[in-house]
Amino acid sequence: MNNYRNYINGEWLESVSDKTIQNINPANVKDVIGTVKLSTREEAKRAVEIAYDAFRDWKNTPAPTRGRIVMRAARLLEDNKEELAQILTREEGKTIGESRGELQRSINVAEFCAGEARRLNGETIQSELPANFAYTIKQPHGVVALITPWNFPVAIPVWKIAPALVAGNTIVFKPAESTPSTAVRVVEIFEEAGVPKGVLNLILGAGAEIGEEIANHAAVKAVSFTGSTEIGVKLYGQCASRGAKVQCEMGGKNPVVVMEDCDMDLAVESTAQGAFGSTGQRCTATSRAVVIDRIADEFVERIVERAKRMRLGDGALPETEMGPSVDEKQFNTVLRYIDIGREDGAEMLCGGKHAEGNGLENGYFIEPTVFDRVTPDMRIAQEEIFGPVLSVLRVKDFDEAMVVANDSQYGLTSSIFTGDPNLIFRFVQEIETGMTHINSPTTGGEAHIPFGGIKMTGIGEREQGSTALDFYTELKVVYVDYTGRKREGNLY
């Protein structure tokens, strides 16, 4: 059994707290992986102070040197890929294939950010004055707080830690309560890669205490958060009052639009992957299928048939297609939304309950669930469920499909299935999401491509890709006058 420790000032320290929670395998609740001590506010404050003290030296370390450390972390992630994938599956429940995919994404992100360390460039700018010029440099903020969720407990920390380090910030990292094993391993990897002491600090604890403590600490200049909209918006408000920078990646209610001329096999399989892959616990999961009436019966029949064929089980088994909900709380949330869907009058065509047989009753497994004849006003059409639940909304034509698809407070990702180039380009133009996919699932992304959403999904700069370092740097503008003389008059 693991007893997880905090990592502060280069040392692994046991919290003095007497509050603990257990880390449980969601595929089999009898498998207790470890015990997490929920750290105290004092410990969180100390982590921030240590990061503050470490900042000056780290900032003055040349960016390519910082990048080399991140590159070493990429190599270590690669060397330890299988071990981390196994830990991830046991702790979070996703299938081993999904875990390996998440590890590969993390490696790619670390590699990409390491390369960016040699491109942390500014620009030179012509002046209106003779013998003058201006230039810009990118500088780190200082201490940044990274607050992460449980659904991608390796990739999300890596895609925040790597750019934060490359930019020259020091870090206090607070992972989700339910995924401490992966958080500890990620930090161990950066430690082994050579991150100097005090530069990266890990503090385990409750969001409402530790998360709030670090996000509101005066020395924390920027907060990068991934999680629920409720908490993200709250942090945004709190940080605004002291001018701290905020980046939030929050909820989604991602639609696929299925047109009459679609490749039906592709549309069904991609929707199933998007809706039930990772047990629907991705912010990019497909949760609404907006389908043209004339083909809706066929689509519904086939997606239900596919949902019923999903092989549920322990993610560690190679044949498993879908794992459990991450914990009891999430399991109960999903079941509650299924009840709400029924009460609101949607037609539940399959799933809807705790899966049984082959030991599934020992884990938080919910049968893949499809609701038909969902209307935009229903709560299951509007609220993020984060489980294997798909809502089908029937529409008469493309114009109505766009109104329905955009009828959401969220705007992360979307997809359309059609062979008509006119509709594809109209869709790209009109859909209100930060990312969109054509004839492919709503999920997925690449390390060197920006990631993020609009509306209530995203606040601040995009993560990853060409924009990965934007949030972690401030731009300084420098005016250089090399006339050696007092300036005549005033330009303006």
SS (H, E, C) 177-232: CCCHHHHHHHHHHHHHHCCCCCCEEECCCCHHHHHHHHHCCCCEEEEEEECCHHHH
Closer to ligand ADP at the Cβ: 175 or 313? 175
Catalytic residue among 249, 367, 384, 463: 249
Which helix or strand (DSSP H or E) is residue 171 part of?
A: strand 170-174
**CA nearest to 230, candidates 390, 39, 432, 384:** 384
Closer to ligand ADP at the Cβ: 25 or 418? 25
Among 8, 120, 176, 355, interactor with ligand ADP by CB under 6 A: 176
Return the structure tokens found at 440: 């492919």
CB of 432 to ligand ADP, least distance (A): 23
Q: What angle do CA 104, 107, 113 make, to 5 degrees?
A: 140
Spatial separation of the C-alpha atoms in residues 482 and 231, rounded to whole Å: 50
Catalytic residue among 283, 321, 367, 463: 283
- 186 touches ligand ADP (CB under 6 A): no
CB of 421 to ligand ADP, least distance (A): 38
Residue in the structure block whose two tokens are 């493309």: 398
- 456 touches ligand ADP (CB under 6 A): no
Task: For residue 283, indicate whether it is catalytic.
Answer: yes
Closer to ligand ADP at the Cβ: 212 or 470? 212
Closer to ligand ADP at the Cβ: 129 or 206? 206
Q: Please count the CA atoms within 13 angstroms of the CA of 385 that sit on its side-chain side.
A: 36
- 26 touches ligand ADP (CB under 6 A): no
Kindly give the pairing relationship between strand 245-249 and strand 220-226.
parallel
Sign of CA dihedral 312, 318, 321, 326: positive
Residue type (1 letter), 146:
L
Spatial separation of the C-alpha atoms in residues 290 and 401, rounded to whole Å: 6
Binding span for ligand ADP by CB under 6 A among 14-22, 169-177, 184-192, 266-274: 169-177
- 227 touches ligand ADP (CB under 6 A): yes
- 352 touches ligand ADP (CB under 6 A): no
CB of 329 to ligand ADP, least distance (A): 8
- 231 touches ligand ADP (CB under 6 A): yes
- 212 touches ligand ADP (CB under 6 A): yes
Q: Are 291 and 373 in contact, with CB atoms under 8 Å apart?
A: no
**Cα-flanking dihedrals φ and ψ of residue 452, to 5°?**
160, 170
Closer to ligand ADP at the Cβ: 204 or 257? 204
Spatial separation of the C-alpha atoms in residues 325 and 348, rounded to whole Å: 20
Q: Are 278 and 326 in contact, with CB atoms under 8 Å apart?
A: no
Kindly identify the residues of this chain, within the stretch 395-424, that bind ligand ADP according to CB under 6 A. Answer: none
Among 215, 220, 366, 469, interactor with ligand ADP by CB under 6 A: 215
Return the structure tokens found at 312: 């549920």
CB of 41 to ligand ADP, least distance (A): 12
Spatial separation of the C-alpha atoms in residues 135 and 177, rounded to whole Å: 44
Kindly identify the residues of this chain, within the stretch 131-150, that bind ligand ADP according to CB under 6 A. Answer: 147-149
Q: With the CA atoms of 297, 303, 309 and 311 taken in that order, what torsion angle do they form, in degrees rounded to the nearest 10?
A: -160
- 207 touches ligand ADP (CB under 6 A): yes
Q: Please count the CA atoms within 13 angstroms of the CA of 187 that sit on its side-chain side.
A: 28
Among 168, 211, 323, 324, interactor with ligand ADP by CB under 6 A: 211
Q: Where are the alpha helices (DSSP H) in 117-196?
A: 155-167, 180-193
- 244 touches ligand ADP (CB under 6 A): no
Q: How many residues are given for the chain?
A: 492
Spatial separation of the C-alpha atoms in residues 455 and 468, rounded to whole Å: 20
Binding span for ligand ADP by CB under 6 A among 63-71, 126-134, 173-181, 434-442: 173-181
CB of 347 to ligand ADP, least distance (A): 28
CB of 160 to ligand ADP, least distance (A): 12
Closer to ligand ADP at the Cβ: 145 or 268? 145
Closer to ligand ADP at the Cβ: 215 or 395? 215
CB of 482 to ligand ADP, least distance (A): 48
CB of 300 to ligand ADP, least distance (A): 30
- Binding residues for ligand ADP, rule CB under 6 A, total 16
- 208 touches ligand ADP (CB under 6 A): yes
Which residues, in sequence order, are bridge partners of residue 366? 354
Binding span for ligand ADP by CB under 6 A among 3-11, 211-219, 240-248, 361-369: 211-219
- 202 touches ligand ADP (CB under 6 A): no
SS3 for 381? helix
Closer to ligand ADP at the Cβ: 143 or 231? 231
Task: For residue 212, indicate whether it is catalytic.
Answer: no
**Cα-flanking dihedrals φ and ψ of residue 165, to 5°?**
-70, -45
Among all residues, which ones are annotated catalytic? 249, 283
Write out the residues near ligand ADP by the rule CB under 6 A. 147-149, 174-177, 207-208, 211-212, 215, 227-228, 231, 235
